[in-house]
Chain A
């Protein structure tokens, strides 16, 4: 399908392009930016005056809940929600049932994703079998089936030795390992950031050291193994600092942070609202500010939604009995734009952290808006507003931002030159 998109302000963080230009799409790719290719006959024209065109967002952490957690969501519903948020490429974590530790599960996910056709799915495979942290999963077989990186979720490896070996194995084949650094013993039974709020509410605390102690260990082992490492879901300023120091030492480490960690703090817990129960937990203002700074200066080069939809029962209980997670992928772009509205980031930097940054971290064929690249785009109106929750697509309504008015509104999301979402 040949599509012509007229009059948008085109921003491509990868190349630094930021100007009003027409876009020409053909055969699922961007044929040209600016001037029409010779003899281009558009079958569809989109009037994009007043809109911004950016590469489709790349979300490194979207739980699709399939296979195994159908009450919480499925690939069709959650990728559809992602498209509404402006996302064209996403990574799903290995926490499925069965765990994503065999090629069969990876194939199932990729097939379903292709069938649904709302977003490109790049699975993150399990680093260890059953995510138990002992036996290695068949990383190369998983890679060949389409896994782009490997991780163990929040479950740490009990044995440092086993972790080291897993990292060395991954390094052998130049595979990227995704870390969710949290020391299980220090975090034990914790529900909220160990600070004044948790103290006051009587909630068991997860100290900052649960993250930093694990990070220290992980970074040293990464250095020793020479493996490519991506640190996901950072929650503390100190943790971001440790990543910066490692990068300064020349280690090939990248990092992402959940968008809600840049917005919320543990103060949100004041009424015991389970909507704010997340893992790793929301921490202090100082942590949020440190994370914002790290995103600004590029230490953290990716912002992810960390989308975790849940059925209502999972949140309808006293705080400690609820499951952690926020469902928010369908708000990714407008919610992220609130950071621009508040002056935390400028628009090009924000878009870089949502497109080029994440794509680079996991070496994904995504996040660029240039001639020859896949036609994965988002067109949004920066002057409009989104009433979160109005047309909710995700199966999980566990989102504290529902009812909020967010800046900006996604008008179109295009996937391989085909409209995957239209407002």
Chain B
């Protein structure tokens, strides 16, 4: 099955997000992308929406649950949130939702900044392989992969999805 072109998914996602924000009466959403792919998707999404607000960038390396297995990721970058989290409606954006652990880490990190009023989750792809009860509010497309396959987002421009085979154990 071929991978979709991210650019083609964005208009649909933008429309769905707009509907969602209206339904929940969210006037001033704060956008946060999860480094790196989520940031690219967020930037593209904001462009599609025609919005120019500042984008928060979250590096979840310090909140991951696999520190004892894999150790610290070699390329940690500072998180930057150019707005208060306290009492705000956040829109959290990631590229690929698989097990849900990255989103779990991102939520933990966001809550260490302050207590948001709500968090809306937007994902370009949902691989339907969740190990945690995390559910996106807006999704570009849901895909199923073979057990040894992964998907990677290339970017920032143009955005493209690439299939990767996992090295055999």
When A and B assemble into the complex, do they touch directly, with CB atoms less than 8 Å apart? no
